[in-house]
Structure 1
Amino acid sequence: MRYFTIAELIKSETADKKAIDNRLPKELLPNAQALVDNVLDPLREAYGKPITVTSGYRCPALNKAVGGSKTSDHMNGCAADIVGTPNTPKENKRLFNLIQELKLPFDQVIDEENFSWVHVSHRREGNRNQVLKL
């Protein structure tokens, strides 16, 4: 974990506003570390400038509060929504493409709302390499 911290992965304005305890359970720590070590850190290294995690781990209550999927990888500590610097569709598209060009071991990479942000997930086993647009 060179460029990212667990604190960044659990930070949530919604959790703060709604007083939701969004601490990462110890048993999910290996998932979050694998996401950072295998995808986020190598992506940041290649990108060459800061990447912001806008949503990382979400406890079930937080996931429900933000309208997340009932099967969201965010709840397993395996996913992050990210934006580039500056946060523009052009930079976010660059991240989306870079994840694929680098052949990073992702489960899903998703263009969310015309590159308003990029969702990326990583599983410690069984990554599907799905490229999606929502």
Structure 2
Amino acid sequence: MKHFTMGELCASTTADTHGIKNTPPLQEAGNLKALADNVLDPLREWYGNPIHVNSGYRCPPLNRLVGGAPTSQHTKGEAADITAGSKEENRRLFEHIRRNLPFDQLIDEKDFAWVHVSFRRDGNNRGQVLKL
């Protein structure tokens, strides 16, 4: 983890507001590290500018509170919603990931309002590209 910290991959104003401790267990922390090492850090090095994590790890109570799917990869520490600050820049991030980096799911969320990317450290990455 070169450009991202565990703290920013777990940060949540919603968790803070509701007094939820959003600390990942060991397995999930390892998954977050793998996501950063294999996708987020290489993306940041290519991009050359900050990338903000809107949502990374979500403990089950936080995930329920924000309306996340019960099977969300966020609860496993395998996913992050990221933004570079604009739809145009988010599209650039999306396309670079799609063409150059390993991923399980890559989702254009709300016409590039943000990008959801996930990575499975067990190697079973589907390379699934979606638009929501």
C-alpha displacement at 1:101, in angstroms? Answer: 2.0
Distance 1:129 1:27 in 2: 22
Bigger drift between 72-81 and 18-27 goes to 18-27
User: Mapping of 1:26-37 within 5 angstroms?
Assistant: 26-37=26-37
- Following superposition, the deviation at residue 27 of structure 1 comes to 2.4
Query: In the alignment, which of 91, 94, 103 is matched to residue 92 of structure 2?
Result: 94
Letter matched to residue 101 of structure 1: R
Deviation at 1:26, TM superposition (A): 1.6
Residue type of the alignment partner of 2:69 = S
Distance (Å, rounded) in 2 between the aligned partners of 1:71 and 1:23: 18
Unaligned runs of 5+ in 1: none
**Residue in structure 2 matched with residue 111 of structure 1 by the alignment:** 108
- What is the aligned partner in structure 2 of residue 62 from structure 1? 62
How many residue pairs match? The answer is 131
State which drifts further: 26-35 or 61-70.
Answer: 26-35
Query: Which piece of structure 1 moves more, 19-28 or 54-63?
Result: 19-28
Q: Runs of 5+ in structure 2 lacking a partner?
A: none
CA deviation vs aligned residue, 1:30-78 (integer Å, no higher than 9, x gap):
1111000000000000111110000000000000111111100000000
Aligned equivalent of 1:130:
128
Relative to the length of structure 1, the TM-score reads: 0.96
Q: Secondary structure at the match of 1:54?
A: strand
In 2: Cα distance, 1:64 partner to 1:36 partner = 24
Other structure's SS at 1:115 match = coil
Paired residue secondary structure (1:98) = helix
Q: Distance in 2 between matches of 1:10 and 1:67?
A: 17
Identity %: 59
Q: Distance in 2 between matches of 1:27 and 1:42?
A: 22
Q: CA deviation at 1:123?
A: 0.2
Deviation digits for residues 68-94 of structure 1 (CA, Å, limit 9, x no counterpart) = 11100000000000001xx11111111
Question: Could you tell me which amino acid in structure 2 is paired with residue 64 of structure 1?
Answer: R
Q: Aligned-residue CA RMSD in angstroms?
A: 0.7
* Corresponding residue number in structure 1 for 2:75: 75
3-state SS of 2:34 partner = helix
